[in-house]
Structure 1
Amino acid sequence: MFGRLLLGVAASVAGSLGHSLGMTLQKRAHLRLESQGTSDKRHAAWRDQEWQFGLGLYLFSSTVPPTIALSILPVFVAAPLAAVGLVANAVCAKYILASTFARTDVLGTFLVSLGSCCVALFGAIDEPLLSLNELLLLYKRPAYMLFFFLYSALVLALVAAELYWRRRYVRLSNSVGGSLDSPRVALHQVSALRWTPSACGNFAEHTPLLSPAGSSDSSSGYSSVTEQLSPEPEPMASRIQAGCSTPPPPASTETVDCMYRRHFLEANEALLSREVEKCHGEQVARYVSGLLSAVLAGLLCSQTLLLAKSGIGLLLLTVQGDMQLKDPLALAIAVGLATTALSNLYYIQRALRLCSTLTVVPLSYCSGSLSALLSSLVYFDQVRLMDTMQISMISIGILLLAAGVGLLSSKNDDQNGPLHLPPEPTDS
């Protein structure tokens, strides 16, 4: 008995560790491709061996070890052990991705782990195996139909929002990339390159028409030309001052070269300011798109678990002699399971490309856990089986999860430093 229990615990912990390591390896592959400037990173990732190994480890750890653990351990024991993956994710991010693990990350990981344990311990309710007819009756209940409609509307709204921010990120990324192809003056260097009179003194020495006032040649030449063109200098000067807005000739210390230099530096500074704003908007769009992808991955994962739970129940009934696989509903469950699983894989990959694993993993885990709990309670009509104590502890766990995810996602990638690879050792 003890050996069987130990096997279940080892399978659960190994699955959590492999799950986190697989996602970290995929993230590192995305970072390496991004640092190499690969033009089509989405297709290049499929050919990367490290990414392939990480994906295989992720898929294996998400299927085989949890199945072994759930077949041996009760749910209220196996579910909290899955929170080990959050700690493993933080460790992998620090030592494999060289991410900065701040105090807020430690506190956020602790709160998410504690909240997930509360939700798993007090929200786990065992239910008997259900046949297709019983599952269909549960599905037709008005309460679940309303819940399914609201849930689908939420998912579609998040998909639309993610598409909007994705297109915004692509548009800003292309505009910033195109405007930065030619070399520019750095923004912090523009103020140092502004025009100064002393900077153009040498050029003024070689410009006789605009030489300093102390030069008698230029002043006499200028006055002689003025006298020849204006027989009545005083009335002409008065008319110019009264009705003409033409600027006066440049000062003696400001040459034409300096005027052009100052003009183009000011224009360049304005252009750089716009580019900085575009870069900031690009980072915001990238981060929001990654966060929405992580939330969608968690929501789709919860539906995958719900369909898998129903499918496993049908398989067990079939093994026990009650054939359940001839009904079209069984095929619909299988198609739904494959669709949600592939969609979950797509969005988790997109989230990994755009955001740090310190943000993606807790956010997807939190949204998936809460969605799975709520879907299970409504679909299997388990709310009536819960007492006040369970509901209170689940509510506390949800608050802890929300606080932990808020801390982990409160910093962007530039602050927590995951968007770089650890330095490679150099040969001395």
Structure 2
Amino acid sequence: MDPSAALAMGVIVGLASTCVQSVGLTLQRKSHMLEDEKIDESDRRPPFKRRRWQIGMLLFLVANIIGSTIQIVALPLPLLSTLQASGLVFNSILASLLLKEPWTWRTVYGTVLVAAGAVLISYFSAMPEPSHTLQQLLVLLAKPSFLVWFILSLVFVAAVLVMTFCLRYLPGHRRETARISLVNGMAFGLVSGVLSAHALLLAKSAVELVVRSLTHKENQFKTFEPWLLLLAFLFLSLSQLYYLHLGLKLISTSVLYPFVFCIYNIVAILDGLIYFQQMDRLPPLSAGLIALGTVLLLAGVLALSWRLQDDDEDGEHHIVNKAEIPQTLIAPGMG
């Protein structure tokens, strides 16, 4: 295919896939919101029985698998990182259109900060990786530095999940506040981001083995280790989807998805640097710009969550005045 035609196709597919992915996430969030509005819990259906959630999940998976594959093949890095950031902008727009979230100045500058931070993180974090054989990958997996990093990250994930478990057993009036929902939703997003980054690392390793098997005519799947690698990848992939689903039940896509994007990229960077023994390959300038991008993105997420806090407080004050309940009994919420 002509390079210019391939570039045009990549841009079109990239914009379409990021938009479709955002629509999928927003539909899942909308499905959870509509179900939570049902007063009688016996009327609430599990997600897999809801048509809106099914469509949203299908759109999300198709956009990720097909769209990402075409983009990686057809687009140069600067365009790829910009298109990834456009997905975060679509999230904010769709949250206002489909979820009826307020569009304020905080939405505008929060979205701009999120997009700018995403571009910096995506652009300066990508580094080409050399090809490896199965034995080389196993040696890298057994390196003490990687084992310590991997185990500590999983311990951290377990600690976060324990925290969310404890928050479920707060007194009822505190457990159901928007602030607690925000904390739990962000915690699930953090877990999803960490696990998806680890899944990406295993996917890269598995793809390397497949490519080497095809190009070098050397079957790398004769032993059980590569199959364990694939099983671990599937487990982490399904786990990160599950925790992303839990996060979507609690907080808006305009807050959750940028946060997951940030955590995912940071952990993926560390995974690559530690796993492939390449800590010296990241220039100080790139590291500084990645850090700046992280700060900008998190500042944007904070602005978007403040926007929702303002809306929640207005709603709570309206309820207080209508029911004539002392204001001290209601905690201002976020979410």
More helix by share: 2
Cα distance in 1 for partners of 2:244, 2:28 equals 10
Residue deviations 1:191-244 (CA, integer Å, cap 9, x gap): xxxxxxxxxxxxxxxxxxxxxxxxxxxxxxxxxxxxxxxxxxxxxxxxxxxxxx
TM-superposed deviation, 1:279: 5.5
Cα distance in 1 for partners of 2:74, 2:110 equals 31
The equivalent of 2:54 in structure 1 is 52
Residue deviations 1:221-270 (CA, integer Å, cap 9, x gap): xxxxxxxxxxxxxxxxxxxxxxxxxxxxxxxxxxxxxxxxxxxxxxxxxx
Q: 1:122 to 1:285 in 2, by over 3 A?
A: closer
1:323 matched to 2:323? no
Q: 1:383 to 1:34 in 2, by over 3 A?
A: same
- The amino acid of 1:302's aligned partner reads A
Asked if the contact 1:24–1:96 (Cα under 8 Å) also holds between the matched residues in 2, the reply is yes
Matches within 5 A, 1:403-422: 403-410=299-306, 412=308, 415=311
TM-superposed deviation, 1:280: 7.7
The equivalent of 1:11 in structure 2 is 13
Cα distance in 2 for partners of 1:6, 1:73 equals 9
The equivalent of 1:334 in structure 2 is 230
SS at match of 2:39: coil
Cα distance in 2 for partners of 1:336, 1:280 equals 34
1:99 to 91, 98, 101: 101
Percentage identity across aligned positions? 28
Cα distance in 2 for partners of 1:131, 1:164 equals 44
SS at match of 1:70: helix
Q: 1:414 to 1:297 in 2, by over 3 A?
A: farther
Give the structure with higher Rg (CA). Answer: 1
Asked if the contact 1:100–1:416 (Cα under 8 Å) also holds between the matched residues in 2, the reply is no
RMSD, matched Cα = 2.2
TM-superposed deviation, 1:42: 7.1
Matches within 5 A, 1:11-410: 11-39=13-41, 43-168=45-170, 172=172, 278=173, 282-320=177-215, 321-410=217-306
TM-superposed deviation, 1:146: 1.9
Cα distance in 1 for partners of 2:47, 2:122 equals 35
Cα distance in 1 for partners of 2:312, 2:75 equals 37
Q: 1:384 to 1:31 in 2, by over 3 A?
A: same
TM-superposed deviation, 1:96: 0.9
- The amino acid of 1:111's aligned partner reads L
TM-superposed deviation, 1:302: 1.2
Residue deviations 1:329-369 (CA, integer Å, cap 9, x gap): 21111111111111111111111111122211111111112
Q: 1:327 to 1:74 in 2, by over 3 A?
A: farther
Q: 1:281 to 1:136 in 2, by over 3 A?
A: same
TM-superposed deviation, 1:283: 3.2
Q: 1:66 to 1:129 in 2, by over 3 A?
A: same
- How many aligned positions are there? 311
TM-score, normalised relative to structure 2: 0.86
The equivalent of 1:177 in structure 2 is none
Unpaired segments of 5 or more residues in structure 2?
Answer: 316-335
Q: 1:302 to 1:25 in 2, by over 3 A?
A: same
Cα distance in 2 for partners of 1:150, 1:159 equals 14
Q: 1:359 to 1:40 in 2, by over 3 A?
A: farther
Q: 1:42 to 1:158 in 2, by over 3 A?
A: farther
TM-superposed deviation, 1:36: 2.7
Unpaired segments of 5 or more residues in structure 1?
Answer: 173-277, 420-428
Asked if the contact 1:165–1:285 (Cα under 8 Å) also holds between the matched residues in 2, the reply is yes
TM-score, normalised relative to structure 1: 0.68
Cα distance in 2 for partners of 1:153, 1:331 equals 25
Residue deviations 1:9-49 (CA, integer Å, cap 9, x gap): 22222221111100111111111112233515774322111
